[in-house]
Amino acid sequence: MGKTALITGVTGQDGSYLAELLLTKGYTVHGLVRRSSSFNTERIDHIYEEPQEPGRRLVLHHADLSDGVALVNLLRDLAPDEVYNLGAQSHVRVSFDAPLYTADVTGLGSMRLLEAVRAAGIDTRIYQASSSEMFGSAPPPQNERTPFHPRSPYGCAKVFGYWSTVNYREAYDLFAVNGILFNHESPRRGETFVTRKITRAVARIRAGLQDRLYMGNLDAIRDWGYAPEYVEAMWLMLQRDVPDDYVVATGEAGSVRQFLDAAFTAAGLDWAEYVRFDPKYERPSEVDALIGDATKAGDLLGWKPQVKWPELARIMVEADIDALDAELAGATVRIDR
Ligand code: NDP
Ligand code: GDR
């Protein structure tokens, strides 16, 4: 019998790559999907199986991280071997506009899930999607021993999730781990995060559909990695004999300005001709520089990043150009890369 896993946030960037990875490893994957008035499963449509399909290994369940009772019922019924808590209001700028909602879903949601595992009395390993945003203004390079100083409601909520995970491990002996992941991107990245906003604009400018790109702080420095490699690290953390916390990062960073340059250059364009400043995209308090030290993940998990941010910029620009070309040609656009 293969293992079973539950993924919250299965419709997001990471959830979709993780579901694919676990399916290739023979898992039955249960995904928690929140109800929406329009389809929100685009990233997993290519692996979706109809409920009538015999022996299907991807099963979706409607629930929400704000609904603790639904989580208990689901966990009791499924008793999965592994739970990956990837669900969150994950946008840092939006967390300033919706701080309490973010604290509820991103912060309390993690404790609801931990408590649900405990209440269901099941033997389950738990992965918590912690974030480099927790380091906030702590100077780089950041590793597992760097003190947290979050700079957004999102960062504060993630610190709560981090310590809840550590506490449930210590108090109840749960196999619960934190992956402290630095920014990771892909052609499936949400359209309002900075990398995808840029690469999508590059494709549209190249096609003559857009002639301006409004941006916020170009001086911010980020350590951008490739999402398909990062979900592998999540899985590796749950395969160890002992639960622990790990930083996952490439160790190489660039500024938003440098990413702009790499992305526009990949399409033969000059970013300075198109990019304009709009304070709307600035944050009330900014995280200036995140550069991760993933030595521990390398040593204990054998995890090593391959794709660094300049190559990532090219991968994402090419994918957005291909997707737009297909859309303009009237073809069905697939996001299975
Ligand atoms: P996305 O924003 O792409 O996906 C978030 C997922 O959470 C979506 O499936 C979303 O559903 C779901 N979700 C949102 N609100 C709720 C809710 N109330 N109940 C249940 N599910 C909900 O994020 P990523 O895939 O990029 O990130 C995955 C996780 O990793 C998140 O927790 C994020 O905070 C964290 N993280 C991400 C990093 C990154 O660079 N990508 C770095 C470090 C941590 P829907 O599709 O309906 O919106
Ligand atoms: P971040 O990612 O806040 O690091 O959180 P994002 O891509 O939103 O911003 C990165 C940096 O770019 C600057 N920036 C802009 N950002 C956006 N979104 N839009 C703009 O127009 C713009 N102009 C400049 C930002 O100020 C910031 O400094 C991501 C999320 O995935 C979190 O969920 C995750 O935890 C962290 O990465 C690690």
Nearest residue (CA) to ligand 1, atom 33: 90
281 Cβ below 6 A of ligand 2: yes
Give pLDDT tens digits for 168-194. Answer: 999 999 999 999 999 999 999 999 999
The tokens of 77 are what? 């019924």
pLDDT at 332: 59
Average pLDDT over residues 309-335: 90
C-alpha pair distances (Å), 9 with each of 5, 14, 81, 109, 276? 13, 8, 17, 12, 33
Q: Name the pLDDT band for 226 (thresholds 50, 70, 90).
A: very high
CB 47 within 8 A of CB 41: no
Pairing of strands 221-222, 254-255: antiparallel
Q: Is pLDDT at 336 greater than 90 in this prediction?
A: no
- pLDDT at res. 162: 99
What single-letter amino acid sits at 119?
A
Flag whether pLDDT at 201 surpasses 60. yes
CB 127 within 8 A of CB 237: yes
Q: Which pLDDT belongs to residue 170? A: 98
More confident residue, 128 or 54: 128
The phi, psi pair for 19, rounded to 5°, reads -60, -45
Rounded CA gap, 288 and 17, in Å? 28
Measured distance CA(117)–CA(80) in Å, rounded: 10
Residue whose CA lies nearest to ligand 2 atom number 27: 220
Kindly state if the Cβ of 14 falls inside 6 Å of ligand 1.
Answer: yes
Q: Which of 194, 202, 230, 255 to mutate to test the pocket of ligand 2 (most atoms within 8 A of CB)?
A: 194
Q: Name the average pLDDT for the chain.
A: 97
> Tokens 């420095």, residue?
221
pLDDT for 4 beyond 90: yes
How far is residue 280's CA from residue 93's CA, in Å, rounded to a whole number? 10
Active-site amino acid positions: 131, 133, 154
CB 182 within 8 A of CB 249: yes
Average pLDDT of span 289-298: 98
Q: What is the pLDDT of residue 253?
A: 98
Radius of gyration of the chain (CA): 20
Rounded to the nearest whole angstrom, what is the distance from the C-alpha of residue 39 to the centroid of ligand 1?
Answer: 16
Instruction: Quote the pLDDT of residue 82.
Output: 99
Q: Which ligand is nearest to the CA of 233?
A: 1
The secondary structure of residue 133, as a DSSP letter, is G
Check whether 334 has a pLDDT greater than 70. no
CA–CA distances in Å: residue 164 to residues 14, 149, 157, 170, 217: 22, 17, 11, 10, 32
Q: Is pLDDT above 60 for 205?
A: yes
- Closest atom, ligand 2, to C-alpha of 88: 33
Ligand 2 centroid from CA 90, angstroms: 10
Q: Which atom of ligand 1 is nearest to the CA of 130?
A: 44
Whether 64 shows a pLDDT value over 60: the answer reads yes
CB 199 within 8 A of CB 191: no
CA 303 to each of CA 202, 237, 253, 269, 284: distance values in angstroms, whole numbers, following the listed order: 32, 10, 18, 35, 35
Q: Residues 5-41: pLDDT tens digits?
A: 999 999 999 999 999 999 999 999 999 999 999 999 9
pLDDT at site 1: 77
Q: pLDDT tens digit string along 90-141?
A: 999 999 999 999 999 999 999 999 999 999 999 999 999 999 999 999 999 9
